[in-house]
Amino acid sequence: MTAAPVDLRSDTVTRPSPGMRRAMAEAEVGDDVLDRDPTTRRLEQRVAELLGTGDALFFPSGTQANQTGVALLTRPGTELLLEADAHLVHYEQAGVAANWGVQIRPIATPDGLLTGERLQAAFRAPSPHVPRAGAVAAENTHNAAGGKVMPPAVMDGIVAAAAAAGQRVHLDGARLWNAAVALGVPPARLARGAATVMVSFSKGLGCPVGSCLAFAGEERERALAIRRRLGGGMRQSGILTAAALYALDHNLIRLEEDHDNARRLAELLSDCPTVRPSVPETNIVMLDLVRDGATSQAVVPQLAQAGVLVVSFGPRRLRAVTHLDVSRREIERAAQLIVTALR
Ligand SMILES: Cc1ncc(COP(=O)(O)O)c(C=O)c1O
């Protein structure tokens, strides 16, 4: 019997564990749209506490929560300033333009790290000829920059530069949990100063579905209305939020294992003549193809054939993500298979 492939395409490929499924099956539920689901309300309050915000709202996806965050902070005809390779730029179907009439204003950086200085330089001088800024978005960790962590001081700089320009900040924290673990600081420290914060449960935490958007308490009614407009009102959502509560109790503390595994993968590939691994800060390793003529388009299926699943992240760049369904042994096997397949 051949072994199952090692699936490193994303930290979203995890299957709910037996313990998580049990928690979901046993969840206390109610109609969340009519009169609040008690388990969902518990999760929202817990997330608001973890992030140091007044309140939070559960969403089916990070994309919908990001879109709602931007809607809360902007007006049509304004610009959203953010790092040029942010998720909101590339992977949300131009949602802020299509949904809210907001223009993306990408800020190119050499390393994926938006800073206060870079943001300050990007603000336009007020003029009747140019669009007004509407809000700023930051991403921590930064997916396209290989799971790069934004330290608290950098976030403080962004918040300060935004405030000086009269702007508020949305934080896309799909993997904020990973950043907090990598830095050894509470998630609330990394969210400080942000007006809206998105966090996901369906990535490193192993849930089947779900994100939260956190915000100041007085924003709840507007956030509920926007979620409703996007079709995000859910009924017995406690089935899903029980999984998220279970994940906060059981899976948050083990994220360091994923970071160790990412480092191990990069270390095992460091002598490989055909790929150059990034130095992972969290659970993402970028692999640059260094052999002449090698392309992601050709190499991704070649690796799949060999038993390792990764995704393309550019013409000559692959992304491998560690997660709770891949063990240290599988990581070591994956490294061996990559070295052999690309020899
Ligand atoms: C940084 C970032 N933001 C937002 C999202 C969107 O989350 P979802 O897939 O739940 O819509 C993702 C998904 O991978 C992400 O990596």
**What confidence category does residue 242 fall into, taking pLDDT thresholds of 50, 70 and 90?**
very high
Give, for ligand 1, the residue of 203, 207, 323 to mutate: max count of ligand atoms closer than 8 Å to Cβ: 203
pLDDT digits (tens, 9 = 90+) for 177-236: 999 999 999 999 999 999 999 999 999 999 999 999 999 999 999 999 999 999 999 999
In the chain, where are the structural domains located?
A: 18-250, 253-341
DSSP secondary structure letters along 13-45: -----HHHHHHHHT-----HHHH--HHHHHHHH
Residue 67 CB less than 6 A away from ligand 1: no
Position in ligand 1 atom list of the atom nearest CA 63: 11
Give me the pLDDT at residue 59, please: 98
Query: What number of CA atoms fall less than 13 Å from residue 135's CA on the CB side?
Result: 26
Specify the CATH number of the domain 253-341: 3.90.1150.10
**C-alpha 175 – ligand 1 centre gap (Å):** 9
Residue 140 CB less than 6 A away from ligand 1: no
In the block, which residue shows the tokens 């999760």?
A: 43
Position in ligand 1 atom list of the atom nearest CA 211: 10
Name the pTM for this structure.
Answer: 0.97
Angle at alpha carbon of residue 200, lines to 229 and 135, rounded to 5° = 60
The reply to whether CATH 3.40.640.10 applies to domain 18-250 is yes
**C-alpha 19 – ligand 1 centre gap (Å):** 25
pLDDT digits (tens, 9 = 90+) for 163-180: 999 999 999 999 999 999
Asked if the bond preceding 322 is cis, omega within 30° of 0, the reply is: no
pLDDT digits (tens, 9 = 90+) for 63-88: 999 999 999 999 999 999 999 999 99
**C-alpha 145 – ligand 1 centre gap (Å):** 14
Mean pLDDT score, 52-71: 98
